[in-house]
Amino acid sequence: MKDLIVGFGNQLRHALEIGANASLKQNNKEIHNVMITGLGGSGIGGTIVSELTAQECTVPVCTNKGYDLPGYINENTLVICSSFSGNTEETLEAFEKAKAKNAEIACVSSGGKLIELAKAQNLNYIQLAPGDSPRAMMGYSITQLLYVLNHYGLISDGFKNELNKTASLIDKLQEEIQADAEKMTNHLFGKIPIIYACDGYKGMAVRFTQQLAENSKMLSWHNIIPEMNHNELVGWRTKNENLAVVFFRNETDHKRNQKRIEINSEVVSKYTSSVMEYWSKGDSMIEKTFYLINVCDHVSFNLSKRNNVIVEEIEVINYLKGELAKF
């Protein structure tokens, strides 16, 4: 896991090669909306892509993380089924429901049943190389989701250059990233992490909570500014030094949100002394997002060591799947 986190830049470069070599057939349908359906490490990629493309994509990009699809899905919907293993039961059921609605379907997976279905039904797909846990392979799936949107004419190919720049940035600053991650690890160790980020970076914040759960075996929570200013901020009423807050910041955050963070920090500091800010690096939203993700992945790995847990262990998930298999 540590090697995968350190080598994230190489993962992005390899992902770009896979996307460039993918053979996708032309589509004659007019696409009115996009639904990315997937769970876990594959599903969070859809959330992040929906944010990364929000200002450019010519149609709405939504995400689905369950068995069902919304009623508006039809022949003018592009449904992208994303499952690293290709065997995620929720995604496979959503696939069948997309077929029943005559939606345009594209698949992103390393294999399994999903790729079998795509090949058998002559659907567009991008096949990833087999790898480790999906949570460590997110760079692959996000890159292919962007390739699919580009293929359907919904975004430009500018993401390719931005991903290459991201890979170089993460490589260049890897020593600094690991040093920053160690500081954040010290800040969060032995406490309940509370993650705040601004609108547009919800996917990054959710990803961090997921990594803390899977890698570090820790519960945490997140919220987004300005939304949390309309509800959660009122909940800060009791002093609790077991809570540790991180505000993730970007120079491009809305100026009003910049001011909100300053005020929020003042408020929550009355109830816990463990409050820190962390600023992203990079020029584009893609660079900033992946930079923060790489820092947080290091933090989750560090905390797994501090918590004396096995980072790859997911016995409770395997138990859940085993119990479901009985029905």
Sorted by where each begins, the domain ranges of the chain are 2-159, 173-306
> HSE (CB half, 13 Å, CA atoms) of 308?
1
- CATH number, domain 2-159: 3.40.50.10490
Point out the catalytic residue in the list 183, 239, 305, 321.
Answer: 321
**173-306 matches 2-159 in CATH topology:** yes
The residue written with tokens 């009003």 in the block is 256
Check residue 142 and give its pLDDT: 96
> Helices (H), strands (E): how many in the chain?
12, 9
> Does 91 score more than 90 pLDDT?
yes
Q: What percentage of residues in the chain have a pLDDT greater than 70? A: 100
What is the amino acid identity at position 59? V
- 8 A C-beta contact, residue 53 and residue 33: no
- 8 A C-beta contact, residue 51 and residue 78: no
Average pLDDT over residues 278-283: 98
Q: How far apart are CA 141 and CA 49, in angstroms?
A: 10
Point out the catalytic residue in the list 214, 222, 281, 287.
Answer: 214
> HSE (CB half, 13 Å, CA atoms) of 133?
16
Average pLDDT over residues 307-327: 92
Catalytic residue list contains 14: no
Q: What is the pLDDT of residues 152-190, one digit of tens each?
A: 999 999 999 999 999 999 999 999 999 999 999 999 999
Q: Which residues of 67-97 are buried (b: 16+ CB within 10 A; e: fewer)?
A: eebeeebeeebbbbbbbbbbebebbbebbeb
Q: Where does the pLDDT of residue 136 fall: very low under 50, low under 70, confident under 90, or very high at 90 and above? A: confident
Q: How far apart are CA 34 and CA 55, in angstroms?
A: 15
Kindly report the pTM of this predicted structure: 0.95
Point out the catalytic residue in the list 230, 255, 315, 323.
Answer: 230
Catalytic residue list contains 30: no
The correct CATH number of 173-306 out of 3.40.50.10490, 3.40.640.10, 3.30.70.370, 1.10.357.10 is 3.40.50.10490
Average pLDDT over residues 282-307: 97
Average pLDDT over residues 22-30: 92
Catalytic residue list contains 230: yes
